[in-house]
Amino acid sequence: MTEDESPFMHFLSIQDIRQEGKIKHTLSDIILITICAVLSGHDTWKGISDYGRKQRDFLLRFGFSGKTSPSADTFVE
């Protein structure tokens, strides 16, 4: 599967209504990490954040931007 064929690439088309100057992580990265982490059994924001940090190489295959993983507070806000 190429990067263009990844089902997660559809998240790029979701409109991000957050204030531009306050964004450190793309909405598509947050959605990708959340879905993969929840499917892997994580059910807390800290667990989801930890998953994103520990599974960076895996997430890169599905369109993750490669930046640092968001903190648990980023998911909650």
Domain enclosing residue 51, as ranges: 24-76
- State residue 59's pLDDT score: 93
Is the pTM here over 0.85, yes or no?
no
Domain assignment present for residue 41? The answer is yes
Domain assignment present for residue 17? The answer is no
Domain assignment present for residue 15? The answer is no
Domain assignment present for residue 13? The answer is no
Distance in angstroms (rounded) separating the CA atoms of residues 56 and 21: 25
- DSSP letter string over 1-18? --GGG-GGGGGGGS---S
* More confident site: 7 or 63: 63
Number of domains in the chain: 1
Using alpha carbons, list the distances in angstroms from residue 1 to 9, 37, 65, 67, 71. 12, 21, 17, 22, 29
Yes or no: say if 67 and 25 are a contact pair by the CB < 8 Å rule: yes
Domain assignment present for residue 14? The answer is no
Domain assignment present for residue 16? The answer is no
Domain assignment present for residue 65? The answer is yes
What the block records as the tokens of 51 is 């998953």
pLDDT digits 0-9 by tens, 21-60 = 888 888 889 999 999 999 999 999 999 999 999 999 999 9
Domain assignment present for residue 52? The answer is yes
